[in-house]
Structure 1
Amino acid sequence: MGRRQPLRPNPHFALRALRRAPPPPPPPATPAEPSPVPVPVQRIPVWAKTTALLAPTVGGGIGAASIGLAYAAPGLIALTEALWAAVALIAAGGAALFLGRARRTPGSTHITQHITATGLFGRATGSTVHHR
């Protein structure tokens, strides 16, 4: 007896095995109930999760701010009245200074400036005219 040859893979062996295999059974003619189509799972984006978590926080902050403003309303009204009174006082003081200064000087000096420029970013040139 001779020596046996080692086994080597035969590429045609798989094809012969497939040819000898029985054909698959035919599909049923009419299925009684259609099989449900699987829905692909979609991941929730990170920005949507972040927004969903921030929404109650922002809403709670707005609610707390509205409660705080409701308690502070009388003080805020008094504060705005005090600020308007300060504005009126400053305006009256400025008017008094302006009128007092206008009475002291007999003649006022008028200054006129003539400025010209060419283009949007052109260099401006000008002259000053003193009127007495």
Structure 2
Amino acid sequence: MHEHTRPHTAHTARYGDPVYYPTTIQPPAILPGELPPGVEMVTLPGGYRTLAYTQPTTTTPPPAPATRPIPTWAKTTALLAPTLGAGIAAAGYGISCAIPGLIAVTDALWAAVALIATGALAPLAIKATRRTSGRQTGPVQHITQNITATGLFGKATGTFNNR
């Protein structure tokens, strides 16, 4: 919205009208009390008066946010985090210390599996070596086994005696 300091006249022509009528342009008047804050009437170097935003002279700082106490659940979580991390680290250390014992247990289990397999497959091996072609076989053989193991999870050793 511009206001000129001298009245401005403009000629408007209507289609088919031979006579031109002078008109005066008057901007609407705004009272100084109606201007929003930060807007002022300014006179430009060409003589025009216009509304313009100006820098505010004084600004009030925004109010400081109210400080709230830290919730108890946040404090509890913050205190439990290092405890949980230390527990996981201790569990990892304990597992790393238990690895040699676990290896010994697996060795003992494999020895037990081998012992059971030998006991189950021995009769089949004996039957396969006998001749059953219709004639009588020799006397029945008796096989004895002596198996010893030292310690709770020691390796089992054994001997076969054919008699």
TM-score of the superposed pair, with normalisation by structure 2? 0.32
Q: Indicate the structure with greater helix content.
A: 1
Q: Indicate the structure with greater strand content.
A: 2
TM-score of the superposed pair, with normalisation by structure 1? 0.37
**Which has more radius of gyration?**
2
